[in-house]
Amino acid sequence: MPVLDVRDLKAYYITDRYGRISRVRAVDEVSFQVHKNEIYGIAGESGCGKSSLLKVVSGLSKPPLRILDGEVIYKFDDNELNMLSLKDDKQRRQLRGTHISSIPQASMNVLNPVKRIEKSFQDFVSVHFEINNKAQFNEMVREHLSALGLDWDIMHAYPHQLSGGMRQRVIIALATILKPDIIFADEPTTALDVVVQRGVVQLIKKINEEQHNTIIMVTHDMAIHANLCDRLAIMYAGKIVEEADAHTIFHDAKHPYTTMLLKSLPKIGDESERESAPGAPPSLVDVPPGCRFHPRCPKATELCCKEEPQLIEIEKGHRVACFHEGGSR
Amino acid sequence: MRVRSKNFRSNTVEFGHGHSKLLDINDLSKVFIRGQGFSKTRLVAVNKVSLSLERDKPEIFTLAGESGSGKSTVAKLILGFEEPTSGNVVYKGEKISNIKGSMEFMKDVQPVFQNPFETFNPLKKIDSYLYETEKNYRMPGADEHRRVKESLELVGLSLAEIKDKYPSEMSGGQLQRTSIARALITKPSLLIADEPVSMIDASLRMSIVNLFKSLKEKENVSIIYITHDLATAYYVSDRIAIMLRGYIVEIGPTKSVLGNPLHPYTKMLIDSVPSPDPTKKWKEDIVLSDMESSEFARKGCKFAGRCPEVKDICTRCEPESVKIDGRNVRCHLYQ
Amino acid sequence: MVRAIKDLFRHDKKFRFGFSIMVFFIIISFVSLFSPYDLSTWNVVPRDLSPSLKYPLGTNSMGQDIFWKATAAVKNSLLLGLIAALVSRIIAIILGLLAGYMGGTVDRVIMTITDSFIIIPLFPLLILVSSILRASLDIFVLGIILGLFGWANDARLLRSQILSIREREFTKTAVLSGMKPTRIIIKEHLPHIIPLIMATVINNIVWVIGMEVTLSVLGLSSLNTPTIGTMIYWAQQYQAVFLEMWHWILTPIVICVVLIISLYFISTSISTYLDPRTRVRMIKGE
Amino acid sequence: MFRRYFLPRFIQYLVVLIVGMNMIFFIPRLMPSDPIESRLSQMTAQGQYLDPAAMEGLRESLAELYGLEGSMFEQYAAYWKRLFSGDLGPSFSQFPTPVVELLKSSLPWTVGLLTVNLLLSWIIGTILGAVTAFYPDSKLTKVIEILAMGIRPIPYYIMALALVILFAFVFPIFPMAGGYSMGTKIGFNSRFILDLLRHAFLPLMSLVILGIGGWFLQMRNVASNIVEEGYVEYAEASGLSKTKIILHYIIPNAIMPQLTGLAINIGFIFGGALITEIVFSYPGIGSLLYNAIIAEDYNLIMGINIFSIVAVSTAMFIVDMIYPLLDPRIRYQ
């Protein structure tokens, strides 16, 4: 029973600049399911649409990003609801914090620069509970912080007084204080130093273990995925091209893009030659016909240039969109 | 860097031929002072750094470290963008402070920037930079645009690929290669690449890194590769220096420093590099540093606050750099 | 340029409104050259007539044709705006660029003066100057004086823009490509600051036209030159409001408001259109 | 904090004063025409006959009155001496009342008008700007925006004149001119206060309408950037209510540029208030200035200038000092 079921989702950025209309096909017919208590990774390079996908799924898309088609179905405590049909802003707000929450990319300005951290915690909690009893609220925060190994003193600091890594950990604490069912993390480790990165990965893992929730993790960094994720989807040019459990992806990948991506990663202690694929990902304004990877694919045939391969299950839990791996039209 | 006429001194510099060192950095320190009057704070961004590159043996030298380790400041000092507080940088026998800004020096030492999307003016076509460089540094008798074509070939691009293109129409990898092609037009002896691949997608990253390798081998260009990414450093570089809060804590051949680290900090860094393999997940928890500023202000070894092997002496005395096992290490364990 | 105007005209309502009206006013300015009457003499037509076919906007109590007077007023007010904008742009651009590029002491000195000009209330100072010069304040002199007062904000704006562009990486690339400072400024930086300069030109003209009105109604300009301000001055002197001669008093007021609003709309539209970020997205095809 | 923040600002304040005072000293002296000669020629033009000896006597006494006696250096020294002693000389048109006295009696009117205007327009403009930035696609936002863009560039004089014509003449709801009705007993009673408010209404309206337009557009500009900031997006993503986001996230962060705008624009707004006062014959500094122009009262014009510079730069300095109270990034540096 999946907690999140995304079906044929299609979302484009549509803009009109002085009569020049453009369509950026950021998310194109994407389907996937996420199960309870798993860490589901979405990998892909810059501009592949992974962040847009996350925005649409978590109900945060704003114009010019428009949802053209598809369904995003959540199942919480046997209640089923379609995120995209929630018209009411209030309904959507009620979901946040308790059911779904987000960890954004580590940056200077995710926390309100003119308020102390404590105020942010109050704001976020009071969306769902009236804070009548300050002591009780403090106790709740203190417990949460200590579970995550954070110091209570940070509550009285302003964001600019904290280091980058500390800020990111505070944000993670903030995002998880109400023990949400699903957490969306968008590049939470990018722009952090390796040691701090490791601390953040550790923290996310700990939350998953303690709160038994589901985490959807978006990052371009395959090594972070390897460390954290149970299952993994690879996106390329607005589409999922391969999906499997982490072990299969890293040791038995089928899609030529996935293998190429993995082959290009250097490792300490491994001196063998590494190669990049030729060319570069296409612009989403103007995607190639057929399989979107065909201009860079060593295996490309005439079929690949004309027809688009569907994402199909080639063995249990392993889906690939490639004609050479049993893909169909 | 100011766009000021004093940067463009026209006096020519004859590089002394008797010197065997391409680059010689000696006991280099840089102190930044923030604030004015009585509220001044000192920040030692680069602390007693020494390293040198041989002139007739091109190599890729990595300066690695976390943010705030001072590695980028070292690059700026080498390029003459900053003045050292003490110590000096000598390039082919000449002090940088004497030759910086001269056409000769700029021709011989070229930087490659971190963010290829910011390297070029977004409102200008990208090929103009190549022609501009060729025109401004042209040697007498050189063919029209020959160097442009040659250096594009060196980086694996064709003129057709970049002709009449604006920076926003190209991928990060293409832009970074164009940026390197621009730097190569003047046939430099030394490239200073500050995090050249950190903004580039993983699948295109190796094309840049491999390019450095071939430039070293085929064009005899030495490269100072500044990065926080130890995996590419291991792959590409001959020697490596690990920096921490202004100090070089370990310096030596890359394969031995990263393969068999001696300094506890190097060990921790290598341990923290995630491996793209789910069977090699991190096991034990790690201790994170407290505030950055407090580590800078720390007496003795800067790593003492989070070192698993910390001793009493570490918090009191600053360790000296000692030679051991073909490398230099700054740690009380080996004094 | 033509393409920009076409794009804006087609797809930006505010620009279409402003631009059409400006074109109309510019035509009107040229029409004023064919006036059948001498516009500075009195009693050339019957007094106090309401609008009619012969006198489209009627005549005033001084025996002047309001329509022809208005055409000349539009021309003179625009001319004044252009003179003042030219003078103040020269000062603003020179000081802004100098401060931005030289930095250090030069920057500090220039900015201290600029800040003083921004903070000091200019209206009483302008009164002081014009009350001394009074009679000799023709369009040209007034234009120069307003120009000398209206540069400070824009000099500061240009300087900060220069400072931020200068720190951007592509400036370093240009230096490393062996480009000389003047060439860097012209080739690399100018395309980024032109939109700002364009917008400030128009905003400055708007300010100047408003200031002229104010000084003129206080009697502090050469009152026989037809401008929007002097038209209001004379209408007020003859108590046009009390006489309910609306065609007289409202003509300059409406012209002034419409002119100023349309200029302002053009300025905001242009600055959005030329904004480097918009342009980059358009190049990219997004 | 004191050294980094207060001191540079205090120095800037002094510099503005010094530069301003010097401008006022040098401008008349560098002008091609001389205030004394222009005054004299004005008098002869008005048909007064003066014999050469009387003319010379008048010239000397004018020079003394205007502080134009002796060499440039002596004049300069005397000028600063008078400034420090707070003596701006006697008014010419209301001789021998000192200029300072006239300023004192006009000041409360202008200060009242200006303060109420600033409070109303700044607060309303700021809130409107923040709210509309948060709802960029709403119909109402677009209407408000077009209105503000249409109003903002209108000169103070034209706005005031239009309101006079409309609400004092065509629909005679409000008095046309003055600060209170002739014959009303001045005192703290409801009748007088009501009369005061009725007179202040139109001038205030004209300033407030223009003010809201300006502050709104500035705030809209700043706030629409802040709406894109990570912390606002994150607060939205976490389900905070829109009111909370506007009040705790957008406004506190946009308030700094809005305060800078206040500090920088005080001079401009002050000028606007003077112009508006002139249109409504409101008994503040503006009307004083108008009378000075009509009477060619050079000393009074000079005095008003000196006063304006001191008042405006002091106000700016005070606004600057409020800053650190609102921004922890400055407070905790």
pLDDT higher than 50, residue B9:
no
**D137 contacts: CB under 8 Å, gap ≥ 6:** A63
Does pLDDT of B3 surpass 50?
no
Q: Tokens in use for B317?
A: 């005395």
What local confidence, expressed as pLDDT, does residue D332 receive? 64
The subunits that touch chain A, with at least 3 C-beta pairs less than 8 Å apart, are B, C, D
Cβ distance D154 to C118 less than 8 Å, yes or no, reads no
Question: Residues of B numbered 108-147 whose beta carbons fall under 8 angstroms of chain A's beta carbons: which are they?
Answer: none
The percent of residues above 70 in pLDDT, for chain A, comes to 98
CB pairs under 8 A between B and C: 84
For A13, name the nearest residue in chain C, comparing CA atoms only: C286
Letter for the amino acid at C167?
E
Residue A20 — pLDDT band, cuts 50, 70, 90? confident
Quick check: C278 and A283 CB within 8 A? Answer: no
Please choose, from the candidates D152, D153, D133, D149, the residue with its C-alpha nearest in 3D space to the C-alpha of residue D141: D133
Which H or E run contains A198?
helix A194-211
Q: What pLDDT was estimated at residue B129?
A: 92
Structure tokens at A40: 């589901």
Under an 8 A CB cutoff, do C256 and D155 touch?
yes
What is the mean pLDDT of the segment spanning B189-198? 93
**Which of C222, C212, C201 is CA-nearest to residue C126?**
C212
Question: Mind listing the pLDDT tens digit for each residue in B267-283?
Answer: 999 988 998 888 888 87
The answer to whether the CB atoms of A18 and C12 lie below 8 A apart is yes
pLDDT by residue for chain C (286 residues), tens only, comes to 788 888 889 889 999 999 999 999 999 999 999 988 888 888 888 888 888 888 888 888 888 899 999 999 999 999 999 999 999 999 999 999 999 988 888 998 999 889 889 988 999 999 988 888 876 788 999 999 999 999 999 999 999 999 999 888 899 899 888 898 889 998 899 888 988 899 899 999 999 999 999 999 998 888 888 999 999 999 999 988 888 889 999 999 999 999 999 999 999 998 888 888 888 887 777 6
Q: Is B157 on the interface with C (CB under 8 A)?
A: no
Percent of chain A exceeding pLDDT 90 equals 53
Q: What is the DSSP secondary structure assignment for residue A267, as one 8-state letter?
A: -
What are the backbone angles phi and psi of residue D98, rounded to the nearest 5°?
Answer: -65, 145
What total of structural domains would you count in chain B?
A: 1
Q: Answer with the residue of higher pLDDT: B335 or D331.
A: B335
DSSP states along D202-240: HHHHHHHHHHHHHHHHHHHHHHHHHTTSHHHHHHHHTT-
pLDDT at position C31: 93
Q: How far apart are CA D24 and CA D305, in angstroms?
A: 7
B10 has a pLDDT exceeding 90? no
User: Residues 192 to 251 of A: which have CB under 8 A from any C CB?
Assistant: none
Task: Tell me if ipTM is over 0.90.
Answer: no
Q: State the pLDDT at residue D108.
A: 93
Residues of chain D with pLDDT under 70: 1-3, 33, 38, 42-43, 45-48, 50, 332-333
Per-residue confidence (pLDDT) for residue D118, from 0 to 100: 94
Whether A197 shows a pLDDT value over 60: the answer reads yes
Percentage, residues of chain B above pLDDT 90? 45
Tokens representing A102 are 């987000």
Q: Is B294 exposed, middle or buried (0-12, 13-18, 19+ CB in 10 A)?
A: exposed
Q: Nearest Cβ partner of D169 from C121, C134, C241?
A: C241
Give D3 or A145, the one with higher predicted confidence.
A145
Alpha carbon separation from A248 to A1, A148, C187, D319 (Å, rounded): 22, 31, 53, 64
Type of residue numbered A129: F
pLDDT of residue B5: 36
Q: How far are the Cα atoms of A278, A285, C212 from residue A235, in angstroms, in the given order?
A: 18, 16, 63
Residue B68's domain is classified under what CATH number?
A: 3.40.50.300
Contacts of D210 in chain C (CB under 8 A): none
pLDDT at A327 > cutoff 60:
no
- Cis peptide bond N-terminal to A64, omega within 30: yes
**Which two three-digit tokens encode residue D73?**
């250096």
| In-domain check, residue B199 | yes
Q: CA-nearest residue of chain A to B295? A: A163
State residue B1's pLDDT score. 39
Question: By CB neighbour count within 10 A (0-12 exposed, 13-18 middle, 19+ buried), where does D292 fall?
Answer: buried
Determine, for residues A93 and D241 on separate chains, whether the beta-carbon distance falls below 8 Å. yes
Q: Which of B202, B304, B230 is nearest to A195 (CA)?
A: B230
Of all residues in chain B, the percent with pLDDT exceeding 70 is: 88
User: Domain limits of chain C?
Assistant: 2-90+119-149+184-284
At B293, the pLDDT band (50, 70, 90 cuts) reads low
A115 contacts chain D (CB < 8 A): yes
Q: What is the pLDDT of residue D327?
A: 79
pLDDT for the residue numbered D2: 67
Nearest CB to C181 within list B5, B113, B133: B5
Query: Per-residue pLDDT for B6 more than 90?
Result: no
Asked if A22 and C8 come within 8 Å (Cβ–Cβ), the reply is no
CB pairs under 8 A between A and D: 77
Task: Return the residue of D nearest to A111 by Cα.
Answer: D231
Whether B3 sits inside 8 A of C173 (CB atoms) is: no
At CA C164, angle to CA C160 and CA C167, rounded to 5? 140
Average pLDDT of chain B is 85
Per-residue H/E/C for B129-180: HHHHHHHHCCCCCCCCCHHHHHHHHHCCCCHHHHCCCCHHHCCHHHHHHHHH
Q: Are D207 and D200 in contact (CB under 8 A)?
A: no
Q: Is C241 on the interface with D (CB under 8 A)?
A: yes
Give mean pLDDT, residues B126-130.
Answer: 91
Question: Domain spanning A2-91+224-266+276-325 has what CATH number?
Answer: 3.40.50.300
Q: Has residue A249 got a pLDDT over 60?
A: yes
H or E element in which residue D302 lies: helix D298-326
Give contacts of D4 with chain B, Cβ < 8 Å.
Answer: 35-36, 39
Distance CA A29, CA D79 (A): 80
Asked if residue B65 has pLDDT above 80, the reply is: yes
The pair of three-digit structure tokens given for residue D316, joined into one six-digit string: 């700016």
